[in-house]
Structure 1
Amino acid sequence: MEDLSSVRAEIDSIDKGIVELFEQRMECADKVGAYKAAHNLPILDRGRERQHLSDIAQSVPDDLRTYTEVLFQLLMEASRERQGAKQPNEEGASDLAAIDAAVASTPELFPRDAYVACQGVEGAYSQFAAERIFKHPNISYFESFEAVFRAVETGFSRYGVLPIENSTAGSVNKVYDLMMEHNFHVVRTTRVKIDHNLLGKPGAKAEDIREVYSHEQAINQCAEFLERRGIKTHVCENTAMAAKLVAQSDRTDIGALSSRACAQLYGLSVLMRDVQDRDDNYTRFACISKDLEIYPGANRTSLMIVVNHEPGALYRVLSKFYVLDINIIKLESRPIPGRDFEFMFYFDIDCPVAAPEFRTLMASIGDACEEYRYLGSYTEAV
């Protein structure tokens, strides 16, 4: 048996040779990219790559075939990324120009005062999120999430604040579905600690409550508590609206799952505190605008991506993030209405907007998917 140190020395020597060959390969990739740019050819030649990968896979023993395919897929992805950075596709070049313009024109400080659209009524968690994002928001309340999108699209409100995911109940699917239908940009996000309380009419007792009103997410987050007590549930558009409904009722056997602030606001009693199933219950909210605004320090980006309906399509997108060492902090899929078995993928990535790998990604992401939308770059308010 060979000595371990001698084997490692041999590996180091081989790796040095691989690095030298990799440099030569990338120089050739640059020449290919220059030729394609001069002749207005697309960077991705899927037929050529497929045939080349097949030939390489056939040239190695069966037990190495899978590893070889993965290695060369990454090599080819790295080549495309390098070419794409130097030759952005039309959509990528347009997005980069818009991003540069937004960075140059957006003020250094995030606004302290603003007209903001929120879903629900006074006391909603969206209100708390708006007050965390802005120092002095002037809030207009709307009955639905779609109305918030419309208020921003039409210019009625400069900003809108919408819940997008909860740490225990998951994504707010209705909001993600509406993202496909409206034009907007994300300018900031924040997280709000959610503490659900059982509210009732003054004089009511917790053991008397037979029915509860609240938002679907709040009901899901308190499922164990409700099941244990055998309480019937009714879904409302908002937790604050549920509290308002109970306050306006003459019944003492109904309650609301809502915040303690809503108890004070609507003259209700807190019958039981913190009835959510988990204490680490946070909801993430997005602040949206019509125009693209990118404030200093933006280190997160949101994208909507549709991939081709074929094997390996999503892998080609994911490999871009891997090659560029960009961390994906959220990946959500939603079915596209009217298109059977096709999905829109929502990506939140962790990468400073000023980083070179971000520019490389935006220059070439369109080559790996059927279509995409850049939703904005931002920071998360704490």
Structure 2
Amino acid sequence: MSDNETNLSEQEQLGKLRDCIDEVDQEIAELINKRARFAQEVAQIKHDHAALGQEVVYYRPEREAQVLRKVMERNQGPLSGEEMARLFREIMSACLALERPVSVAYLGPEGTFTQQAALKHFGHSANTVSMPAIDDVFREVESGSVLYGVVPVENSTEGVINHTLDNFMTSSLKICGEVELRIHHNLLVSEVTKLDSITRIYSHSQSLAQCRKWLDNYYPMAERVAVASNAEAAKRIKGEWNSAAIAGELAARQYGLTILNEKIEDQPDNSTRFLIIGAEAVPPSGEDKTSIMVAMKNKPGALHNLLQPFHENNVDLTRVETRPSKTGAWSYVFFIDFNGHIQDERVKKTLDQVDACATDVKVLGSYPKAVL
């Protein structure tokens, strides 16, 4: 800082900085609109090809993942790489909406963590549609009513969501992305709640389990009522003076509630993984995962035989789950996630070996690893 700047009053110094910020804001706005105009040109090219009867893809999961990774790699602060990527996610979402808004079904109602995951992945310019059940999300995408769906698949403390896995047994949809969401639970109250008279606490059964120790400590005598979703819990307390709800910040905003206590989950690293489902396969992004479903005969060494090819070909497994077969024709159904894309030579070789010892192998999808 120069001597002249040092002699300026606080208001004068702040005024100069605010003028600089205004100039930068104008430059940012001009550049965002420049990007948007490029998006419009891309849209026109795609529209022209669609008019000729050619298949056109508007949303490219692998391309968006690559862009966000580059944003994080190039970032020099002071904003964190993740914060910068979140800003670009919204810019990309708004630009994509100029081409064609993305339609997304999610496990509702409004205010759930699944909606939060959908907005985190697609941005707030996407058209999101609430569905009452995981089955309905799959059906909505299969029917073509929406392009994509978002469903939970596993929680770091409560484990896998079996209903999601079971849907993949009969569905032809592909996994085309994943979202990892840090789960923070809050105790919510409404304008009619009497804080010294809370005798009932609503939430989803998993949320109640994830906050058990905190509830034992602060509300040991309160009745814990499990409902279909945290958003449903938030809605219920609007008219009950003796009730509170456990839900996320999005539900608090959605239903006009007050956060009485925040981050009450027992495990501070509590997180949930969500899957993006769609009809199209996704090309490689450079950092990908693949999910498969494998049926094996009930015989000694079946699991060893299944996993051996991954070890031999140095393919990194990230998750293995077992589910009972719905048809009765298979003794075991394994859901396996591993690093790599279906187009990678090592992955191809591994799957050929797995196919030789399995009753059936179904590739659920290759997709970019979660960036945010």
TM over 0.5: yes
Take 1:150 and 1:298, find their aligned partners in 2: how far apart are those partners? 29
* Higher RCO (C-alpha under 8 Å, 6+ residues apart): 1
**Aligned twin of 1:109:** 63
Take 1:341 and 1:295, find their aligned partners in 2: how far apart are those partners? 32
Change (3 A) 1:339 1:269: same
Aligned partner letter, 1:120: G
**Aligned twin of 1:277:** 266
> Contact between 2:316 and 2:338, CA under 8 Å: does it hold in 1?
yes
| 1:150-189 equivalences in 2 (<5 Å) | 150-189=139-178
1:173 positional shift: 1.8
> Contact between 2:295 and 2:359, CA under 8 Å: does it hold in 1?
yes
1:167 positional shift: 1.1
- Whether 1:381 aligns to 2:371 is yes
Q: 234, 253, 256: which is aligned to 1:243?
A: 234
| 1:183-332 equivalences in 2 (<5 Å) | 183-228=172-217, 229-230=219-220, 231-247=222-238, 250-332=239-321
Aligned partner letter, 2:113: Y
Q: 1:317 aligns to what SS in structure 2?
A: helix
Q: 106, 112, 134: which is aligned to 1:124?
A: 112
| 1:75-154 equivalences in 2 (<5 Å) | 107=60, 109-110=63-64, 112=96, 113-135=101-123, 136-154=125-143
Q: Percent identity?
A: 28
Change (3 A) 1:267 1:106: closer
**Aligned twin of 2:11:** none
1:199 positional shift: 0.9
Take 1:341 and 1:153, find their aligned partners in 2: how far apart are those partners? 25
Q: 1:179 aligns to what SS in structure 2?
A: helix
Change (3 A) 1:321 1:206: farther
Take 1:310 and 1:354, find their aligned partners in 2: how far apart are those partners? 31
1:268 positional shift: 1.5
Structure 1 residue runs of 5 or longer lacking an equivalent are 1-101
Aligned partner letter, 1:360: K
Take 1:333 and 1:176, find their aligned partners in 2: how far apart are those partners? 10
> Contact between 1:109 and 1:295, CA under 8 Å: does it hold in 2?
no
Take 1:314 and 1:212, find their aligned partners in 2: how far apart are those partners? 43
> Contact between 1:188 and 1:381, CA under 8 Å: does it hold in 2?
no
1:293 positional shift: 2.6
Take 1:244 and 1:128, find their aligned partners in 2: how far apart are those partners? 17
Take 1:296 and 1:357, find their aligned partners in 2: how far apart are those partners? 16
TM-score, length basis structure 1: 0.68
Q: 2:137 aligns to what SS in structure 1?
A: helix
Number of residue pairs matched by the alignment: 278
Change (3 A) 1:338 1:234: farther
Higher mean Cα deviation, 225-234 or 336-345? 336-345
1:305 positional shift: 0.8
Q: 1:123 aligns to what SS in structure 2?
A: coil
Take 1:156 and 1:225, find their aligned partners in 2: how far apart are those partners? 42
> Contact between 1:132 and 1:381, CA under 8 Å: does it hold in 2?
no
- Whether 1:366 aligns to 2:355 is yes
Take 1:313 and 1:357, find their aligned partners in 2: how far apart are those partners? 22
Change (3 A) 1:241 1:297: farther
Of structures 1 and 2, the larger Rg is shown by 1
**Aligned twin of 1:348:** 337
Change (3 A) 1:210 1:178: farther
1:265 positional shift: 1.9
Structure 2 residue runs of 5 or longer lacking an equivalent are 1-54, 65-92
1:105 positional shift: 11
Change (3 A) 1:320 1:205: farther
Take 2:365 and 2:354, find their aligned partners in 1: how far apart are those partners? 15
